[in-house]
Structure 1
Amino acid sequence: MKFAPLFVPWQRRMQTLAVLQWVLSFLILPPMCFAILIGLLFTRFWIFSVLYSTWWYLDWDKPWQGGRVIPIIRRCSLWNYMRDYFPASLVKTAELDPSKNYLAGFHPHGIMVVGAVLNLCTESTNFTSVFPGIHRYMLMLDVWFRIPFFRDYLMAGGLVASHKNSASSLLRKKEGGNLLVIAIGGAKEALDAKPGKYKLLLKSRQGFIKLALTHGTSLLPIFSFGENEVYDQVDNPPGSWLRWVQLKLQKVMGISLPLFHGRGIFQYSFGFLPHRRPITTVVGKPIEVQKVLQPTQEEVDQLHQLYIKELSNLFEAHKLKFNIPKDQHLEFY
């Protein structure tokens, strides 16, 4: 086992701490939130649980209605330390018109969509300066927004419930300037997130294409280089018993359970922290879409193929910068 040096710069300690809080926020914070809400009922602070529960009931639909962004959360210095841990960076290839709305596909999903969190949900890479006038939101599984306290934390960063009504509420705004991000491959694609692999679940995903057509919203391909490199995963080829179990659980719970591992807090050999490997999220050029209230399957297929082509072109144009072999191409399923 390879242990971390006893004495390292304070900056690196802070970077590790920032990533640790982020990982733990998904591993232990949800059950803790329920425990706090219920536990307070049996103390002299029971009124706080009652007041929050009332607020929670009245505010229940907010994640499905555009959420509630809190800029100070996005600008928190903790995200800067997390950015420098990998490090993560954002690359623009084209301007975005703030008078228009955009529907972006984020690829690949990876294990924990690190690139999307840092580059699109925080200000750690200066998104607002890079794309002035653009307000970004990202879809996340509904189940996370049913957790007290945690739901408010997620919405503060621009995360909204993954539902057609939620997406439509943002894309139909006439004033424009909204960027809605969807990790197209979702939880199922996470099962193929392995270093050196570029396998994307996209052929059967056409819902976002229909959404773009019905709203006349420009499509925006985004590829995050290094996303699959930060974690290793137990081998689970299609047809194996492990993949079979994971797919069954994914259908029941809505979330997949990839058996991933990275490094530890005080050693580099094994643990649940991601590896320190660069992540570069490249935002492609918009694909203009004409509004069609009731698109035919032919129109959907045509735009879907165009999107796949533009995403492939984006990958091919930048892959050599990240030491990806020339004969390596995206694989779609």
Structure 2
Amino acid sequence: MIGTPTVKDGRRSAWVRNWTLWKYFQSYFPVKLVKTHDLSPKHNYIILCHPHGILSYGAFINFATLEGIFWIPFVRDYVMSMGICPVSESALMYKLTQQGSGNAVVIVPGGASESLLCRPGVSTVLLNKRKGFVKLALKTGAYLVPSYSFGENEAYNQETFPEGTWLRGLTRGSWGFLPFNHPITTVVGEPLPVPKIFDPDKDTVAKYFELYISALRKLFDQHKAEYGFSKTQELTII
């Protein structure tokens, strides 16, 4: 999982993006965020980022930071001053229930396990046994928002070794361990309304999980041809 910021104030982000160093980085490794729908400040949101990729560049650059950052003295205080919080359930519940409306938290549900599935040309999402985000949405009434980072899996080549051996990401044609200078476009989709239910049962969680899967597939299919995939490419969810 990845630490999650509230998405309220873009002024600090704009300040960083004006740095000369940032502009050099962007020229080598272009990453952008595409909004397809407005998020009303009357609601709270859980934005799900797919796929994880090797290092989740789309999520890091557009939204988030590692949870481990919150273990470092002073750095922790700095990132929290910008509205960033860890991805723990208690922190997410606080953001989605105790701070009014107009908040958004960001989660990469595939985690490290999904990173082992990532390689160029592949669109596989590890999600079928990860329904916790749906239960969280139901408990808080936060809308679910799918997002997909097209090009995330193209940042590195990864060779999968036989079972029982190390799996690791490899780079060729780049500077050391730098990613390929392939664009990554994170497209944020339409919010899925979710009712607030204090103790949702399994059937209700399953219902909204399937609705979310449909919304994610729709987002992928609508934008895949524009951002590097063929029109026949399918999103695989396991």
TM-score (norm: length of structure 1): 0.63
Structure 2 residue aligned with 1:118? 61
Of 74, 81, 97, the residue aligned with 2:40 is 97
Alignment deviations for residues 130-149 of structure 1 (CA, whole Å, 9 cap, x no partner): xxxxxxxx6x43x4422334
5 Å matches for 1:137-152?
140-141=66-67, 143-152=68-77
Letter paired with 2:37 = A
- Could you say what the CA RMSD is over the residues aligned between the two structures, in angstroms? 2.6
Please say if residues 194 and 229 of structure 1, whose CA atoms lie closer than 8 Å, have aligned partners that are also in contact.
yes
Corresponding position of 2:170 = 261
Q: Which residue of 1 aligns with 2:119?
A: 194
Q: Distance in 2 between matches of 1:231 and 1:149?
A: 32
Larger radius of gyration: 1
Residues in 2 aligned to 1:75 and 1:116: alpha-carbon distance in whole angstroms: 19
Q: 1:216 to 1:72 in 2, by over 3 A?
A: closer
The 5-angstrom pairing of residues 147-186 of structure 1 reads: 147-152=72-77, 154-155=79-80, 159-173=84-98, 175-186=100-111
Residue 6 (structure 1) aligns with: none
Q: Is the 8 A contact 2:150 2:228 kept in 1?
A: no
Contact 1:110 1:190 in 2 (8 A): yes
Q: TM-score, normalised by structure 2?
A: 0.86
Report the residue type matching 1:116 in the other structure. Answer: A
The answer for unaligned runs of 5 or more in structure 2 is none
Q: Does 2:139 align with 1:214?
A: yes
Q: Say whether 1:234 aligns with 2:174.
A: no
SS of the aligned residue for 2:195 comes to coil
The structure that is helix-richer by fraction is 1
Query: What is the aligned counterpart of 2:201 among 296, 304, 322?
Result: 296
Per-residue deviation, 1:155: 4.0
Within 1, Cα distance between the matches of 2:39 and 2:216?
A: 17
% same residue: 40
Structure 1: gaps spanning 5 or more residues:
1-62, 122-137, 246-257
SS at match of 1:325: coil
Distance between the aligned counterparts of 2:227 and 2:5, measured in 1? 38
**Are the aligned partners of 2:29 and 2:181 in contact in 1 as well (CA < 8 Å)?**
yes
- Please tell me the residue identity of whatever aligns with 2:164: W
Greater RCO, CA 8 A, separation 6+:
2
State yes or no: 1:75 paired with 2:15.
Answer: yes
Deviation at 1:194, TM superposition (A): 0.8
Q: In the alignment, residue 208 of structure 1 is paired with which amino acid?
A: F
Aligned residue in 2 for 1:284: 189
For 1:315 and 1:112, locate their aligned partners in 2 and report how far apart those are by CA, in whole Å.
20
Judged with a 3 Å threshold, the aligned counterparts in structure 2 of structure 1 residues 65 and 287 are, in CA distance, closer, same or farther, namely: closer
Structure 1 consecutive aligned stretches of length 4 or more whose deviation exceeds 6 Å: 63-66
Instruction: Give the direction of change, closer, same or farther, for the CA distance of 1:101–1:320 in structure 2 (3 Å limit).
Output: same
Moved more, 93-102 or 290-299: 93-102
Residues 5 and 63 in structure 2, CA contact (< 8 A), matched pair in contact too: no
Distance 2:31 2:135 in 1: 32
The number of equivalent residue pairs is 231
Quickly say closer, same or farther: Cα 1:158–1:196, change in 2 above 3 A: farther
Determine if contact 2:4/2:106 at 8 Å carries over to the other structure: no
Distance 1:320 1:64 in 2: 29
Per the TM alignment, residue 71 of structure 1 is displaced from its structure 2 partner at its CA by 5.6
